[in-house]
Chain A
Amino acid sequence: MARKPKAHAASHTPLVLGHDIISKPQTIRVDGVRAAGLEASRRRINFTTIVVAGLFFIVGVRLIELAVRGSGDDSRIAAASINQAIHRPDIVDRNGEVMATDIVTASLFVDARYVIDPQEAAHELVGVLPDLNEADVEKKFASGRPFIWLKRDLTPRQQYAVHNLGIPGLEFQREQKRVYPNGAAASMILGMVDIDNKGTAGMERYIDRTGDLLNKPGDLTATPVSMEGESGNASSGIRDSGAVMLSIDVRVQYVLRDELEKGVEEFHAKAAGGMVMDMYTGEVLGMVSLPDFDPNNPNLSDDNAHFNRMTLGVYEMGSVMKTFTFAAALDSGAVKINNSFDATHALKVSRFTISDFHAERRWLTVPEIYMYSSNIGSARMALAMGRQEHQLYLRKMGLLSRPRSELPEEGDPLVPANWTDLSTMTIAFGHGLSVAPIQVVQATCAVLNGGFRIQPTFLRRSGPALGERILSAQTSNEMRELMRLVVTNGTGKKADVPGYPVMGKTGTAEKAGKGGYAKKKLLTSFLSAFPANDPRYVLLVMFDEPNPTPTTYGYATAGWNAAPVTSKVVQRIAPLLGVRPVDQMMENPLIEAKLVTNGGAGD
């Protein structure tokens, strides 16, 4: 095998091939040969030395890398920090008001090896912490294990009391606890955290999922711009503190929730929802879904109270969807604002009959169809435009796909798998397509802001964020006229506010149940925008199964519940948002609409 020819030559011993594992000189008696063998060993030693030196070098470089850069995998480390709750950034509203913050609390655990008399100790401890189960505590004390949680997040008073018991083995662990000073007010937006301070829902979960959020706070926590003199508490330190600034205005949020709560009580509704969005920036200023929960004690509420009806729930919204049918039909050019359609008789398509709730039984002009909320007229308009065009517009308005805001709780719209002409006809007046309310608000922004698509967001934006144009400015202006008309002359009269003109559209949908639509189970909504002279904010108010009351003369339709609540909300939030009141209401909506047109999309 590998053998030095020199060694071979020097030796006279016959070779035995095949069993010499070590290649070596035949003899070491010849000094030259021995030197050659040593030379070979030396080369191999040198080779080994270089390899070992390389390994030491690698460890050294890795050490420097670790010290400078960290392990590079922060999520893994975060997951491993079991006992150390994660420090979370504060969440503040658009004016810098704190909506969520961390405080330091103490949690109680026992090192059971030190407990002298488990029974007596358990009895004493339950005496000061009565919500603990005595038998359970005693079992823990008797277990002999070095670490068992007894109770998380003690109040200072409880800590003091436990401390005073002087039971050996009881110890406190300092922890971060998330606190929501506004309680349930913004629970659907903020979400919540688990016992280890990890975000499990809402914006809290978003913060956790966006790992780099904390590394570049500048993007998300722009210094609050003072808007129309409402700056108030915005302190300059917010950016430095790394807080996450939301688009929410806590005051708007409070008002919205307050009025919706009163509405739920008045109409004995099962649930309610509301949302305010800035139609130029896409910022959500307030969002409420009732029933809701207190994020400080999320476990006290049932699943129903954790369900976000505005983003996760999808509904057949009813007549408010006519807004998009009209915008599409007018923009496509298939229908002109002065056209008329036959609404004399109910429309029969195969086994379905489309009829009107406020039946006029005559030919109706386009504004009349909208004003009286004629299903027949809407269906005919959609047919005039064609189902493909209809579908295309709905898609552009964002009604056929998930809105992809920051909230993790988002539902996919339910779009008919097989979109027939009948689908187009029913979708024209809001049945057959289920969308999340946030999508309705998002699409309305585009309809009214001059025709630009917007991306809804729960984070503060510094200015307008208009996307691609999807409707012409003329369509947008015509839609403004139509929506104002509903409030001045149509089904939404109760929504108006003196001084703060409102425009909008009612929607009363029969909820789909077993074997068809239930006549008595309604989903009412009022989709509106204000101020009508220069619309800027879109507001949606929605009630699930409201009941008639004596004051509504037995009606439970949107005009009798969602519309008046809208009026109350606008009355209270318009001044907060710095909307300038209009001195005198103009009687003729068309003149006013002209003013709107001339005013343009504005700032």
Chain B
Amino acid sequence: MISLSRTNRGAIAEWWWTVDKWTLLALILLMVVGAVLTLAASPAVAMRIHLSPFHFVYRQAIFYPPAIAILIGVSLLPVRQVRRVATMVFLIAYVLMVMTLLFGPEVKGATRWLQLGPIAIQPSEFVKPSFIVVTAWMFSEGMKSRRFPGTIIALALYTCVVAVLALQPDFGQLMLVTLAFGAIFFMAGLNWFWIVLLAVVAIGGAVAAYTFVPHVASRIDRFAHPASGDTYQVDKALDAFHAGGLFGRGPGEGEVKRILPDAHTDFIFAVGAEEFGIAAGLLIIGLFSFITLRSLGRAGEETDPFVQLSACGLTMLFGMQALINMAVNVNLMPAKGMTLPFISYGGSSLIALAYTMGMLLAFTRVRAGRQSASATVRGVFA
């Protein structure tokens, strides 16, 4: 075990004593589960498209060390530094994201990717968490000073991000950004008039997407009326859950991974549940809900509005992505192109998630002025 004295004031020692070790442990566990499931699911997919069986496994494996380095490295930073990094990443990634519209190759009808040397990245993955931190900053500044138009800036930034996402188009990310943005807006004290108004706008947007974007309409139709179209992936996923039962068919015994094109990405949850049973499925749900609920709880104890809003926004980004992916897998929602954080295959996504959760860990570190301390302060001044 690492032995660090509590009186040691070095950066590492301080990090070790203040970071949310349980969440860190849960994140590492998720990555382990991800590695196991990638081993389970991806060889079948690789062989089907005539790559070497461990193509995806190797490609994923090389991203683990940098991902863990980024996760811990970012969580070491003090809040002010995190904000600075986030702002810079936001600006760079936003520019890259706009470039995807101009130069990005078209993959499955959308331009979301950018080829940077040997690696392909999806800039929107990095825009998302940075945007949340910057927005939280704007809201909190607006709360400090009446003259600072924080809310207006936040809404303007939101519009810019959403516009590019809609043009790519990437409605999954758009929905996530909107949910996380809405959550911090709500937590920042949005009054009920605006809540209702924005809800109406969101519903209007959804209806517009359904009306004007054919592939959104077809996905929703297929969910609502399974007979109307091809629900092959979802049907196979449902079969997989049933076939898996409580403890699964056993490692390597799964069938669904041989059939589903997205077995290693969008439907990895179904693959896991088929081979290792709902026991594994519940473990995964447990890990995600643990991280999400615990982080929200810790954020609630913060006294600094910026830290509070940032932590909540990042948590929502992470938690909602996991929820939506799993809900699609169990057919509670229409199909969305959304991966399961830390578990689905995808290097760019893994790095971006490490960055997201690194920031979250940085925000939820124990520091002076937290609830435990402020309670006494409140007690004195109330």
On A, residues with C-beta under 8 Å from B are 1-2, 13, 16, 20-24, 26, 28, 31-32, 35, 37-38, 40-42, 44-46, 48-49, 52-53, 55-56, 58-60, 62-64, 66-67, 69-71, 73, 76-77, 80, 113
Q: Please state if A24 and B245 are interface contacts (CB–CB under 8 Å).
A: no
Contact yes or no, A71 B235, CB < 8 A: yes
Chain A's interface: helix, strand, loop or mixed, by majority?
helix
Establish whether residues A59 and B330, one from each chain, have CB atoms under 8 Å apart when the complex forms.
Answer: yes
* B residues near A71, Cβ cutoff 8 Å: 235, 238-239, 241-242, 331
Residue numbers in A under 8 Å from B227 (CB-CB): 76
Other-chain contact of B139, A22, A35, A70 (Cβ < 8 Å): A22
Instruction: State in angstroms the CA–CA spacing of A16 and B146 once bound together.
Output: 10
From B54-62, B69-77, B284-292, B360-368, the one touching the partner chain is B284-292
Q: Which chain A residue lies CB-closest to B327?
A: A59
Asked if B39 lies at the interface with its beta carbon under 8 angstroms from chain A, I say no
Q: Are B273 and A63 in contact (CB under 8 A)?
A: yes
Q: A41-B305, A64-B278, A71-B239 are in contact. Are A52 and B292 (CB under 8 A)?
A: yes
- Stretch touching chain A among B6-14, B91-99, B164-172, B183-191: B183-191
Check B289 against A56 for contact (C-beta < 8 Å).
Answer: yes
Let me know if A67 and B277 touch, CB within 8 A. yes
> Bound state CA distance, A67 and B308, in angstroms?
38
Nearest B residue to A1, CB-CB: B191
- Contact B235 A76, beta carbon cutoff 8 Å: yes
Contact for B238 among A35, A45, A77, CB less than 8 A? A77
A80 B232 Cβ-Cβ under 8 A: yes
Distance (whole angstroms) from the CB of B363 to the closest CB of chain A:
13
Complex: A110 Cα to B240 Cα, angstroms? 28
Closest chain A residue to B320, Cβ basis: A52
Chain B proximity of A218: nearest CB distance (Å): 24
The one of A1, A28, A67 that contacts B246, using a Cβ cutoff of 8 Å = A67
Q: Is the CB of B242 within 8 A of A66?
A: yes
CB-defined contacts of A58 to chain B, threshold 8 Å? 332
Check A41/B239 contact, CB under 8 A, given A31-B381, A32-B382, A60-B285: no
Q: Is the pair A41, B189 in contact by a Cβ cutoff of 8 Å?
A: yes
Assess the A49–B297 pair: CB atoms within 8 A: yes
Is there an interface contact between A56 and B186, defined as CB atoms closer than 8 Å?
no
A32: chain B residues within 8 A (beta carbon): 378, 381-382
Q: A28 and B143: CB pair below 8 A?
A: yes
What are 5 inter-chain pairs, A to B, with CB distance below 8 A? A22-B188, A31-B377, A67-B273, A69-B242, A76-B227
Q: Establish whether residues B332 and A23, one from each chain, have CB atoms under 8 Å apart when the complex forms.
A: no
CB of B113, distance to nearest CB on chain A (Å): 24
Judged by a CB distance under 8 angstroms, whether B34 is at the interface is no
User: From A66, which residue of chain B is reached at the shortest CB distance?
Assistant: B241
B191 is contacted by which of A13, A22, A66 (Cβ under 8 Å)? A22
A-B residue pair count with CB separations less than 8 angstroms: 148
Contact A56 B285 (CB under 8 A): yes
On whether the beta carbons of B142 and A22 are closer than 8 Å, the reply is yes
Flag if B278 contacts A53 (CB, 8 Å): no
User: For the complex, what is the distance from the CA of A229 to the CA of B73, rounded to whole Å?
Assistant: 87
Give the complex CA separation of A500 and B121 in angstroms. 89
Question: With a CB–CB cut-off of 8 A, which chain A residues contact B183?
Answer: 48
In the complex, B22 has a CB within 8 A of chain A: no
Bound-complex Cα distance A45 to B364 (A) = 14
Closest B residue to A46 using CB positions = B300
List residues of chain A with CB within 8 A of the CB of B273: 63, 67
Q: Which residues of B contact A2 (CB under 8 A)?
A: 191-192
A22–B246 touching, CB < 8 Å: no
Q: Name the A residues within 8 Å of B282 (CB-CB).
A: 60, 63-64
**Cβ-defined contact, A28 with B144, below 8 A:** yes
Chain B residues with CB below 8 A from A28, complex form: 143-144
Which residues on the A side are within 8 Å of B348 (C-beta)?
Answer: none
Contact code string B259-288 (vs A, CB < 8 Å = 1, else 0): 000000000000001000110011001001
- Please give me the residue from chain A that is nearest to B278 by CB atom: A67
Alpha-carbon separation in the docked complex, A343 to B193 (Å) = 95
How many positions in chain B have a CB within 8 Å of any CB in the partner chain?
Answer: 62
Q: Which 10 A-B pairs have the closest CB atoms?
A: A66-B241, A71-B238, A56-B289, A70-B242, A80-B235, A67-B278, A45-B300, A49-B296, A23-B191, A62-B330
Rounded to whole angstroms, the CA-CA distance of A59 and B316 in the bound complex is 16
- The contact string, 1 if C-beta is below 8 Å from chain A, for chain B 320-335, is 1001001100111000
Nearest residue (CB) in A for B193 is A1
Q: A63-B330, A66-B242 known; A45 and B187 CB under 8 Å?
A: yes
Asked whether B191 lies within 8 Å of A63 as measured between CB atoms, the reply is no
Identify which of B277, B303, B332 contacts A59 (C-beta below 8 A). Answer: B332
Docked complex Cα distance between A49 and B308 (Å): 13
In the complex, what distance in Å separates the CA atom of A61 from the CA atom of B195?
30
**Chain B residue with the shortest CB-CB distance to A27:** B146
Complex contact A59–B323 (CB within 8 A): yes
B299 within 8 Å of A (CB atoms): yes
Q: Which residues of chain A are near B241, meaning CB under 8 Å?
A: 63, 66-67, 71
Q: How far apart are the CA atoms of A44 and B190 in the complex, in Å? A: 10
Contact call A63/B285, Cβ cutoff below 8 A: yes
**A22 in complex: contacting residue of B151, B235, B303, B316, CB < 8 Å:** B151
Q: Is the CB of B296 within 8 A of A52?
A: yes
Asked if B347 CB lies within 8 Å of chain A CBs, one says no
Contact call B316/A53, Cβ cutoff below 8 A: no
Using CB atoms, name the residue of chain B closest to A69: B242
B100 to chain A, nearest CB (A): 30
Specify which of A21, A41, A76 is in contact with B194 (CB 8 Å cutoff): A21
CB within 8 Å of A: which B325-376 residues: 326-327, 330-332, 374
Residues of A contacting B186 with CB < 8 Å?
44, 48
How far apart are A7's CB and chain B's nearest CB, in angstroms?
11
Chain A contacts of B299 at CB under 8 A?
45
CB under 8 Å from chain A, chain B span 292-316:
292-293, 296-297, 299-300, 303, 305, 308, 312, 316
Q: Taking the nearest CB of chain B, how far is it from the CB of A596, in angstroms?
A: 57
- A73 near B226: Cβ-Cβ < 8 Å: yes
Proximity string of chain B (224-237) to chain A, C-beta cutoff 8 Å, 1 when within and 0 when not: 00110001100110
**A53 & B293 in contact (Cβ 8 Å cutoff):** yes
Q: In the bound complex, how far is the Cα of B139 from the Cα of A547, in angstroms?
A: 99
Scan residues 46-67 of chain B and give those whose CB is less than 8 A from a CB of chain A: 50
| Residues on the B chain within 8 Å of A49, using CB | 293, 296-297, 300
Contacts of A80 in B (CB 8 A): 231-232, 235-236
Closest B residue to A47 using CB positions: B186
- Chain A residue contacts of B316, Cβ below 8 A: 48, 52
Interface presence of B319 (CB below 8 A): yes
B254 within 8 Å of A by Cβ?
A: no
Bound-complex Cα distance A26 to B145 (A): 9
Which residues in B have their C-beta under 8 angstroms from that of A37?
143, 189, 305
CA distance A13 to B99 in the complex (A): 46
B244 interface residue, CB < 8 Å from A?
A: yes
Collect the chain A residues with CB atoms within 8 Å of residue B327's CB. Answer: 55, 59
- In the complex, what's the smallest C-beta–C-beta distance from B357 to chain A, in angstroms? 16
- Which residues of A lie under 8 Å from residue B239 when comparing CB positions? 71, 77
* Chain B residues with CB under 8 A of A21: 151, 190-191, 194
Which B residue sits closest to A26, measured CB to CB?
B146
- Chain B residues 182-225 with CB under 8 Å of chain A are 183, 186-194
Q: Looking at the complex, which one of A40, A55, A59 makes contact with B189 (CB distance below 8 Å)? A: A40
Please, how many angstroms separate the alpha-carbon atoms of A113 and B288 in the complex? 42
| B189–A44 touching, CB < 8 Å | yes
A60 to B331, CA, bound (A): 12
- Residues in B neighbouring A60, C-beta threshold 8 A: 282, 285
Closest Cβ neighbor of B285 among chain A residues: A60
A32-B378, A49-B297 are known contacts; what are 11 more A-B pairs with Cβ within 8 Å? A21-B191, A23-B191, A35-B378, A41-B308, A44-B187, A48-B312, A52-B316, A64-B282, A71-B242, A73-B226, A80-B236
Q: Which residue of A has the minimal Cβ distance to B242?
A: A70
Q: Is the CB of B146 within 8 A of A13?
A: yes
- List A contacts of B331 (CB < 8 A): 71
* Partner among A16, A41, A56, A62 whose Cβ is within 8 Å of the Cβ of B292: A56
Interface centre among A37, A40, A55, A67 (most CB of B within 10 A): A67
Bound together, the chains give a CA A329 to CA B297 distance in angstroms of 88
